[in-house]
């Protein structure tokens, strides 16, 4: 089975600081992959490289048939195929929830207003926010705003969804709201890569866990690897080494 995401020996520097030092992993269609590790281990940088938000200094990335870094890459098509949701919601405050979701459908996919509205309403139902369609972002809780950001990305019908620590700014109750939406997407077969600090969630939802440390993939395995780490670094990270 060919991988929908193939990362091979990627390197990324910011000035003299090499953040990724030869990172490789594959992701199959329908897999949910959690990338874990300490702050500064390169998790979010790796995720951003997959969506061409950061340019790699070496190695190669193929995602949904796109060769990341190729001078011929179609960024518009890539951004339709690969959705990304950040910890900051990045919603337009002057637009309603429905208008925020419709914006890219109208300007990128060139869909009619009626189709945009139908798609917006469909994804809002999926994240449990149908009743908030006419409200503005400031009228929503942080968890609701994050669910709108997820809905906006889903509306583009991506093949792969990337989540970059989407719950790190939320309190535990709001975190639960957002994680339930992601769990529903996982059950629906969406291919997802999650950079997360939520170990219990990663253990429950992920098919594969990638532990990064000092810019390298340190350990890879199923959720059971969190119960039986093979390295001292992962033991310390999950707290079993204390």
**pLDDT (0 to 100) of residue 1:** 62
- Nearest Cα residue to 219 out of 228, 227, 210: 210
Question: Six-digit token pair at 200?
Answer: 């219990």
- What are the structure tokens assigned to 208, written together? 């594969």
Cα-based angle 235, 241, 242 (whole degrees, multiple of 5): 145
Q: What is the pLDDT of residue 242?
A: 39
Per-residue confidence (pLDDT) for residue 177, from 0 to 100: 87
CA distance 55 to 60: 11
The pLDDT, as a whole number, for residue 90 is 87
Q: Which domains does the chain have, with CATH numbers?
A: 5-88+160-238 (3.40.50.300)
Q: How far is CA 24 from the centre of its chain?
A: 17
Report whether 134 contacts 97 (CB < 8 A): yes
Whole-structure pTM value: 0.92
Q: Measured in whole angstroms, how far is the alpha carbon of residue 179 from the centre of its chain?
A: 12
Phi, psi at residue 42, to the nearest 5°?
105, 5
Per-10-residue mean pLDDT for the chain, 242 residues long?
A: 90 95 95 94 95 94 92 89 89 96 90 94 94 96 93 94 90 88 91 93 93 96 92 88 42
């Amino acid at each position: 089975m060919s991988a929908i995401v193939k990362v091979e020996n990627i390197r990324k520097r910011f000035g003299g600081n090499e953040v990724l030092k030869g990172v490789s992993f594959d992701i199959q269609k329908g897999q949910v992959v959690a990338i874990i590790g300490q702050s500064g281990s390169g998790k979010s940088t790796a995720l951003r490289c997959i969506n061409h938000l950061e340019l790699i200094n070496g190695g190669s990335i193929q995602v949904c048939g796109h060769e990341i870094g190729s001078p011929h890459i179609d960024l518009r098509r890539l951004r339709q195929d690969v959705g990304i949701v950040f910890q900051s919601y990045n919603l337009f405050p002057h637009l309603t929830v429905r208008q925020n979701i419709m914006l890219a459908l109208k300007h990128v996919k060139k869909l009619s207003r009626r189709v945009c509205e139908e798609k917006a309403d469909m994804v809002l139902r999926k994240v449990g926010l149908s009743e908030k369609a006419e409200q503005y972002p400031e009228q929503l809780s942080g968890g609701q705003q994050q669910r709108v950001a997820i809905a906006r990305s889903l509306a583009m019908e991506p093949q792969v969804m990337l989540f970059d620590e989407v719950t790190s700014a939320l309190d535990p109750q709001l975190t639960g709201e957002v994680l339930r939406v992601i769990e529903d997407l996982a059950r629906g077969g969406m291919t997802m890569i999650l950079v997360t600090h939520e170990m219990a969630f990663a253990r429950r939802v992920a098919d594969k866990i990638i532990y990064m440390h000092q810019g390298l993939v340190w350990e890879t395995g199923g959720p059971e690897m969190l119960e039986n780490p093979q390295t001292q670094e992962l033991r310390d990270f999950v707290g079993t080494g204390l």
